[in-house]
Amino acid sequence: MKNILIIHHGIGVGGGLIALLGLIDELKLKNNVKVFCVFDSEAVTYIKNTGVDVFLPYSINYKKYYSLFLHSEASYFNVASSIRMVKNLVTFFLNKYYFAQRELERLNFEYDIVYLNSTFISDWSRAAKNLNKKVIIHIREPLAKGLFGFRKNIIKRNVSKYCDWIIAISKDNSKRIGLLEKTTVIYDPIVSKNRADDKEILLQPQFIYFLYLGGSQRIKGFEQFVKSLPYLNENIKIFFLGGNHNYLESRLDKLFAIFDPFYWKVNSLENELIRSQRIINVGMVDDVFSYYNNCRGVISPFSKPHAALPILEAFFKSKPVIVSNIEGMNEIVNHTNGIFFNNKHPKKLADAINYMSIMSDFEYSEMCCNAKKTFQKLMQKNLSVQVIINKF
């Protein structure tokens, strides 16, 4: 049995947290697992519900000043992000060389392994290594190349120097970090616990239902999704799951938001969504599998490269997908289990949705079967994270 301290960075309830809950359930079967949450948020409640203890930072630094050093291909560069980058870089190095070790030393837990649940918290790896711990980092985000490679090299150097092993959630992510000699690709687990699939959903026979997850986040393709709605056939309805975009986490966020072009259009887009006759606005829910069961296909129009957990969940439920042709998406999606559309072309997205809605029963049934087969093949080759843990 290993004593494992998982460090989690997230503040929202999304794919990263859901995957972490599955990871915790897997690891706690054979290990003593506790979680350190960098930020106190609603994610803490979800993690506690798995039955593990959760630590929160002692220093006020993490509540008032600390920011994640984000450098992902799944983000947008603008004036706001460039201003943030300076602050984030400062707090990154302060944490790396001072605060992180103080936090880890004060924990009332004798642990063997520190498991970093994100690329964005590589600044914790030095402190863990200084305390003679084995360090595993989970590369959940597609590391950006950048214009000059400065930020990428900072993160890559930390991972290379202080991390004993890397787990990447996709082949694309593993190639981006570029340390293949100590990297294992493990696709995220399907977490069905507390996400019941037996909820009764009222469907009207004259409509064909699709599912979109991700709320109004920009990288999820929210803008092109909304712009596609006027082109959809009138017999199409879409379950819209997820929350609204939130810029107002702190006073500094409010200030930076005015430099973000998406800030000035997101409210208008959300209003367009609400007015659309094609949308059933479900919001934030846990029982998402009930909606998978009752849809014809899953719409995942990411506007930036990212490994999307909803695609794996769709395949698990034998549902085909509609995805943008972004880099890395063809790793698991092909023309037999889904439909690609040209990224940044809302009309093409609508055409893909319309086409799936009018497929013949035979063609649709074949696509559903292939979705399930793809999932089964991926899982047959998929290693357990426990296999990596056993190395240490």
Which CATH number does the domain housing residue 177 bear? 3.40.50.2000
Strand ranges of the sheet holding 53-55, from the earlier edge strand across to the other edge: 53-55, 32-37, 3-8, 113-116, 134-139, 165-168, 183-185
The pLDDT assigned to 18 comes to 87
Query: CA nearest 239: which of 194, 202, 272?
Result: 202
Q: What is the DSSP letter of 284?
A: S
Which token pair is 48? Answer: 């506690």
Among residues 126, 156, 189, the one where a domain terminates is 189
Q: Could you tell me if 163 and 255 lie in one domain?
A: no
Q: Is residue 203 part of a domain?
A: no
Q: Is residue 157 part of a domain?
A: yes
The pLDDT assigned to 165 comes to 97
Query: CA nearest 197: which of 22, 364, 317, 49?
Result: 317
Q: N- to C-terminal Cα distance for the chain? A: 11
Q: Is residue 391 part of a domain?
A: no
Q: Is residue 318 part of a domain?
A: yes
Residues 344 and 264: their CA atoms lie apart, in Å, by 19
pLDDT in tens, the chain (392 residues): 899 999 999 887 777 888 899 999 999 999 999 999 999 988 999 999 999 999 999 999 998 889 888 887 766 666 666 777 888 899 999 999 999 999 999 998 999 999 999 999 999 999 999 999 999 999 998 888 877 778 889 999 999 999 999 999 999 999 999 999 999 999 998 887 766 667 788 899 999 999 999 888 888 899 999 999 999 999 999 999 987 765 445 555 666 666 666 777 788 889 999 999 999 999 888 788 999 999 999 999 998 888 778 999 999 999 999 999 998 889 999 999 999 999 999 999 999 999 999 999 999 999 999 999 999 999 998 999 999 999 89
Q: Is residue 389 part of a domain?
A: no
Q: Could you tell me if 272 and 214 lie in one domain?
A: yes
Angle, CA 206 vertex, CA 202 and CA 212 arms, to 5°: 60
- Which structural domain, as residue segments, surrounds residue 46? 3-189
Residues 155 and 115: their CA atoms lie apart, in Å, by 16
Show Cβ contacts of residue 376 under 8 Å, excluding neighbours closer than 6 positions: none
The domain tally of the chain equals: 2
The pLDDT assigned to 333 comes to 96
The pLDDT assigned to 255 comes to 60
